[in-house]
Chains A and B, each alone.
Chain A
Amino acid sequence: MLLIIGFIGFPIALSLALTLGFTGGLNQIIALIGQGIRPADHWWGTMAGYQALFSDPRFNGDLQQTIIVTVVSTIVVLVLSLAIALIVRLHRGRIAQLLGAIIVVPMFVPVVISAWAIHTFYGGDGFVRSVAALLGLQAPTLTSTMWAVIIGSVWTSLPFASLLVTSGMQSIPDALIDAARDAGAPMSRIVRTIMLPLASTQLIIATTFTSIGILGSFTIPYFLGSNQPTMLGVEISNFLNAYNRPQQAVAMAFVIFVFAAGIAIAYVRANLRGSATEARA
């Protein structure tokens, strides 16, 4: 266990030190190679690295896009996975079975390939534009826009979220639903007042994992997004490799981390509340 803590915690602590301008010790080599490093000027370091970042219009554009993509994709994923879960739970026909089986397919597919498959599907000479052209329409090329990134993020996140939500819905006893139906409640009301609250833990887990995953994603925006502005995951790698500015790269990682941590706190709270009610029962 110490090893686990060592290999994740230690580099994070080290890089926090770098963003605050401490350039000694194990950070020495990267500080020597890197450019635009702002060294520490107080005992606790310096905020100059972060200040430079937030006054950079390019970074702000990236941050904005990252947040938009994350929020939109997460909402779409949630709505779709709820729809899927409800179809699988309530419908139970052959088509629902088929849907349940097919929805997990993206999980089988490595992310690099998903990104590339979506690129060829929605790209300049892809399927969508081919169909449109045959119908005599001019469809837009979605790749290299934010929309392709959203499509890609939804595509890759959907199986995990819908598995979670579906398993939450499946654990609701039939008796509850039947009783409400016998009492004359319409389906929409049953869904709203019985099924959604009972599956809320799974919904929260799905939301957290989806949004955190998209927030820090790299491969999907790298293949599908525009060059500028792009998502922060790609920009971190640009700053690290292409521009050789490790301090800014790592500082961006911490900005993402702050957002992700906010989501994580909500998640942990929901979990603790869940186990507290269970303990009482």
Chain B
Amino acid sequence: MNARRALREIGIGALAIALMAFILGPILWLGAHAFATSWTFPRLSADGWTTHWWHEVFADSALAGAIRTSLLITPVVVLISAVICLPAAYAIGRHSFPGRRLFLIGMFAANAFPKIGLFASLAALFYAMNLMGTVIGIVIVQLLGTIVFMTWIPASAFAAVPRSLEEAARDAGASRLTVFRTITLRLAMPSILVAVIMSFLASFDEAQGSYLVGAPNIYTMPTEMYALVENYPIQVAAVFSILLSVPSVILIGLARQHIIGGRLAEGFQIR
């Protein structure tokens, strides 16, 4: 029995390590390239180490410009998305109105429609409205990817706030606004935070649509990456990759507990 148990322990350990290697391997391999002078196949280590490529990226005006554009557009997208979607999320979470379920299912269906197809038809619309190659066009395209996160996750959080708490506060004499601010909003806050982060990532990573609408006038970091991979040495792409991952790492690091704590999972259920 003990031998079998030990064998199982080893099996689980091996599986866990294999999975971690599968996940981390590609990232570490690419990360190492950011500091390599050159790399000779089939060596497992670089020929030499340098920070030269980092200077190159920051000195290149196209690359630095893409970084600036991305850092500018993404917060705007998230803000607009919050302003549009959070009231909708509140309505869906708290009120039952005719067509509510239809709206939820419709939104899910729209999400199942392949993005690239949506962009194709959006491009037709944008040509007609003169939005191709403009910042507004990119903002709209990126907005589309955030809607599902910004509506669904907060909606289930608003629905989960106990009515009795709000009623008790009202009975104790709190105004409607105070109740909303100190109870409803506060209890839903962790989920809203998760929604904001998921939206930020969705917008920040969005490449297909931004490329279709923005190129060749405006490049964000991910769309610049397509060009980079083809035209620059691999080390530059590696540096750029690390830079691109920084905001996501910081944000998810901040909200890790909430995401892993199941708020994400709860948010994706239609009630």
**Please, which residue of chain B has its CB at the minimum distance from the CB of A99?**
B16
Interface residues as binary, A1-23 with B (CB distance below 8 Å gives 1, 0 otherwise): 10111011111101100100000
From residue A87, how far is it (CB to closest CB) to chain B in Å?
6
A168 to B121, Cβ gap below 8 A? Answer: no
Contacting residue for B241 out of A7, A102, A116, A201, CB 8 A: A116
Q: Please tell me if the beta carbons of A253 and B123 are within 8 angstroms of each other in the complex.
A: no
Residue contact B19 to A103, C-beta cutoff 8 Å: yes
Q: Is the beta-carbon distance between B140 and A7 smaller than 8 angstroms? A: yes
Enumerate chain B residues within 8 angstroms of A202, measured Cβ to Cβ: 265
Which of A134, A219, A253 contacts B208 (CB under 8 A)?
A219
B269 touches A205 (CB 8 A): yes
Q: Mark A223-254, 1 if CB is under 8 A from B, else 0.
A: 10000000011001100110000100110111
In angstroms, Cα B91 to Cα A106, docked, is: 33
Which of A1, A91, A205, A240 contacts B88 (CB under 8 A)? Answer: A1
A113, B114: Cβ atoms under 8 Å?
A: no
Given A108-B252, A257-B114 in contact, is the A14-B121 Cβ separation under 8 Å?
Answer: yes
Question: Interface residues of A, CB < 8 Å — how many?
Answer: 98
Q: Which of B17-70 contact A (CB under 8 A)?
A: 17, 19-20, 22-27, 29-30, 33, 39, 41-44
A98 to B85, CA, bound (A): 36
Are the C-beta atoms of B114 and A215 separated by less than 8 Å? yes
- Indicate whether A209 reaches chain B with its CB closer than 8 angstroms: yes
Given A95-B16, A127-B25, A205-B268 contact (CB < 8 Å): yes
- Interface centre among B24, B43, B120, B140, by most chain A C-beta atoms within 10 angstroms, is B120
Instruction: Specify which chain A residues have a CB less than 8 angstroms from the CB of B147 in the assembled complex.
Output: 4, 8
A117-B29, A253-B114 given as contacts; is B268 within 8 A of A209 (CB)? yes
Interface string of B108-143 (1 = CB under 8 A from A): 111111111110111111011000000000001001
- Are A18 and B121 in contact, CB atoms less than 8 angstroms apart? yes
Report the minimal beta-carbon distance from B101 to chain A, rounded to whole angstroms: 9
Stretch at the interface among B167-175, B182-190, B256-264: B256-264
B35 → chain A closest CB, angstroms = 14
Q: How far is the CB of B126 from chain A (nearest CB, A)?
A: 10
Q: Are B225 and A116 in contact (CB under 8 A)?
A: yes
Q: How far is it, in angstroms, between the C-alpha of A170 and the C-alpha of B13 when the chains are bound?
A: 20
Which residues of the other chain, B, contact A47 by a CB distance below 8 angstroms? none
> Do A121 and B29 have beta carbons less than 8 Å apart?
yes
Indicate if B95 sits at the interface (CB-CB under 8 A). Answer: no
Q: Are B24 and A105 in contact (CB under 8 A)?
A: yes
Q: Could you tell me the distance between the alpha carbons of A95 and B20 in the complex, rounded to whole angstroms?
A: 10
Q: How far is the CB of A189 from chain B (nearest CB, A)?
A: 16
Contact status of A275 and B241, CB under 8 A, knowing A30-B123, A121-B25, A216-B116: no
Q: How far is the CA of A155 from the CA of B16 in the complex (A)?
A: 15
The answer to whether A40 has its CB under 8 Å from any CB of chain B is no
Expressed in whole angstroms, the Cα–Cα distance for A50 and B271 within the complex equals 37
Find out whether the CB atom of B121 lies under 8 angstroms from the CB atom of A11.
yes
The answer to whether B30 and A121 have CB atoms under 8 Å apart is yes
Which of A3, A30, A91, A164 is close to B124, meaning CB atoms less than 8 Å apart? A30
Residue B158 at the chain A interface, CB threshold 8 Å:
no
* Of A56-64, A176-184, A190-198, A258-266, the one touching chain B: A258-266
**Contact: A275 with B207, CB < 8 Å?**
no
Residues of B with C-beta under 8 A to A126: 29
Q: Are A264 and B109 in contact (CB under 8 A)?
A: yes
In the assembled complex, which residues on chain A have CB atoms less than 8 Å from the CB atom of B178?
none
Q: Give residues 122-142 of A contacting B (CB, 8 Å).
A: 122, 124-127, 129-131, 133-134
Q: Besides A98-B20, A120-B234, A125-B39, 6 other CB < 8 A contacts?
A: A11-B124, A110-B245, A218-B116, A236-B120, A249-B117, A253-B113
Interface residues of B (CB under 8 A from A): 12-13, 15-17, 19-20, 22-27, 29-30, 33, 39, 41-44, 84-85, 88, 91, 103, 105-118, 120-125, 127-128, 140, 143-144, 147, 151, 201, 204-205, 207-208, 212, 222, 225-226, 229, 234, 237, 241, 244-245, 248-249, 252, 256, 259-262, 264-265, 268-271
Q: Which residues of A contact B (CB under 8 A)?
A: 1, 3-5, 7-12, 14-15, 18, 26-27, 29-30, 80, 83-84, 87, 91, 95-96, 98-100, 102-114, 116-118, 120-122, 124-127, 129-131, 133-134, 155, 158, 160, 163-164, 167-168, 170-171, 201-202, 205, 209, 212, 215-216, 218-219, 223, 232-233, 236-237, 240-241, 246, 249-250, 252-254, 256-257, 260-261, 263-264, 267-268, 271-272, 274-275
Some 12 contacts from A to B, beta carbons below 8 A apart, are A4-B88, A11-B122, A26-B125, A26-B128, A102-B19, A117-B30, A120-B30, A134-B42, A219-B207, A253-B117, A260-B113, A271-B270
Q: Please provide the 5 A-B residue pairs with the shortest distance between their CB atoms, ordered closest to farther.
A: A253-B117, A216-B114, A15-B121, A133-B42, A260-B112
